[in-house]
Amino acid sequence: MGFIDVNGVSFSLPDGRPLLADLAFRVTEGRTTALIGANGAGKSTLLRIIRGELRPDEGSVQVDGGLGVMDQFVGTGQTAPGAAHTVAGLLVSVAPKRVRDAALELEASENVLIERDDTAAQMRYATALAEYAEAGGYEQEVVWDHCTTAALGLPFERAKWRDLSTLSGGEQKRLALEALLRGPERVLLLDEPDNSLDVPGKRWLEGELRATQKTVLLVSHDRELLARAADRIVTLELGAAGNTAWVHGGSFEGYHRAREERFERLDELRRRWDEQHAALKQLVATLKVKATYNDGMASRYQAAVTRLRKFEEAGPPEERPPAHEVSMRLRGARTGKRAVVCEALELTGLMRPFDLEVWYGDRVAVLGSNGSGKSHFLRG
């Protein structure tokens, strides 16, 4: 088994701003459900609520099956304090709980042993070693070997002390994904796992998501990945009283049509509400005039006023959420000046020497597979 139930979850930010309003949906067993929405809509926050890191103001979350989590920011520098710094640390952090605890205790007892080599320290180390073996630590190292080989092209023994910050963004994500997909947890929360994966990496992830038996809740902004890997789509829609969830029970293929139909329905409901509102106001106005010279009309006038008040109190139906207009302005004139000049630039082991001239106003895309040295080039 493995599923997530989100029951009427509402959440406000520390400054009191309502972020999530009455969310309800189920992430079904063995399926990949996508969670999508604008930047800042609250997707990562909702994942933190689901994993029990934040408490909702109202509602509850039920998770059936062990939970494996991949944060939006995997590498160091962007993660919370206390997060893993090495390849081994990252793999340990997403390992099954018993192995994880045993590995952490093994490391701690090793460190004590280095400090002072007394009987107590030796005992603790021996116990930790035994527990590591019993917890399946050595079997897990075989899994880790697969992970580092796939993500970095290195066996675990050679990769384990690498600082995470020395891996490329895509390598970090690939490593965490390999570990989670091969891990024991039945339910995975993946926050933008495809972000910074190169094209082959994305294709690999799509295939894995389609093949896996696990229950997955996936945050992504990539339409292609959504189209290929998601069975259901939950959209966080922006609303003044907190963002709400709209569930599309099918894949991304029919998503836009379903969404258009939903908007048309909402527009239609709103049109009808406006018409009724106008008619009621008209009735009140007419009866008011009549009531001034006909006492018999006073009670009808009062009844109409009450009806209008109740109608307005009930409020208009849900509105079509605001559309996101994304517009780009790329401007800048050529000034005839060189901004960057590289001559026979070589990044040892990464790129062969090359020349490059970039002029003011130029827009240059740097493309390449994960780990090919794009960020190194920009840093240089």
Ligand X SMILES: Nc1ncnc2c1ncn2[C@@H]1O[C@H](COP(=O)(O)OP(=O)(O)OP(=O)(O)O)[C@@H](O)[C@H]1O
Contact footprint for ligand X (CB under 6 A): 13-14, 19, 37, 39-45, 72
Q: Which does 37 bind (CB under 5 to 8 A by kind): ligand X, Mg ion, none?
A: ligand X
Q: Which does 296 bind (CB under 5 to 8 A by kind): Mg ion, ligand X, none?
A: none
Query: Is 83 strand, coil or helix?
Result: coil
Q: Which does 341 bind (CB under 5 to 8 A by kind): Mg ion, ligand X, none?
A: none
Which residues sit opposite 358 in a β-bridge? 340
Min. distance of Cβ 60 from Mg ion in angstroms? 22
CA dist 168 and 161 (Å) reads: 15
Q: Nearer Cβ to ligand X, position 124 or 202?
A: 202
Which residues here bind Mg ion, judged by CB under 5 A? 43-44, 72
Query: Is 215 strand, coil or helix?
Result: strand
Min. distance of Cβ 194 from ligand X in angstroms? 13
Q: Which string of DSSP letters, residue by residue, matches 23-45?
A: EEEEE-TT-EEEEEESTTSSHHH
State residue 217 phi and psi, 5-degree precision: -110, 120
Q: Nearer Cβ to Mg ion, position 88 or 189?
A: 189
Ramachandran class of 242: left when φ > 0, alpha when ψ lies in -120 to 50, beta otherwise: left
H helices of 6-96, in order, are 43-50, 87-93
CA dist 63 and 287 (Å) reads: 57
Q: Which does 14 bind (CB under 5 to 8 A by kind): ligand X, Mg ion, none?
A: ligand X
Min. distance of Cβ 101 from ligand X in angstroms? 29
Q: Nearer Cβ to ligand X, position 42 or 321?
A: 42
CA dist 132 and 105 (Å) reads: 9
Query: Buried b / exposed e across 73-104, counting CB within 10 Å, b at 16+?
Result: bbbbeebeeebbbbbbbbbbbbbbebbbebbb
Min. distance of Cβ 69 from Mg ion in angstroms? 13
Min. distance of Cβ 17 from ligand X in angstroms? 8
Cα 117 from chain centroid (whole Å): 46
Q: Which does 249 bind (CB under 5 to 8 A by kind): ligand X, Mg ion, none?
A: none
Tokens 């090919």 locate to 372
Q: Nearer Cβ to ligand X, position 140 or 220?
A: 220
Contacts of 238 (CB under 8 A, 6+ apart): 37, 38, 41, 321, 322
Q: Which does 19 bind (CB under 5 to 8 A by kind): Mg ion, ligand X, none?
A: ligand X
Q: Nearer Cβ to Mg ion, position 137 or 193?
A: 193
Min. distance of Cβ 191 from ligand X in angstroms? 7
Q: Nearer Cβ to Mg ion, position 72 or 86?
A: 72
Structure tokens at 192: 């933008």
Min. distance of Cβ 253 from ligand X in angstroms? 23
State residue 48 phi and psi, 5-degree precision: -70, -30
Structure tokens at 255: 């998503």
Q: Which does 13 bind (CB under 5 to 8 A by kind): ligand X, Mg ion, none?
A: ligand X
Residue 105 near residue 131 (C-beta atoms within 8 A): yes
Burial of 178: CB neighbours in 10 Å, binned 0-12, 13-18, 19+: buried
Min. distance of Cβ 84 from ligand X in angstroms? 21
Residue nearest to Mg ion (CB): 44
Structure tokens at 299: 């009670």
Q: Nearer Cβ to Mg ion, position 175 or 236?
A: 236
Min. distance of Cβ 243 from Mg ion in angstroms? 13
Q: Nearer Cβ to Mg ion, position 50 or 106?
A: 50
Q: Nearer Cβ to ligand X, position 15 or 295?
A: 15
Q: Which does 42 bind (CB under 5 to 8 A by kind): ligand X, Mg ion, none?
A: ligand X
* Nearest-5° Cα angle at 155, 150 to 156: 100
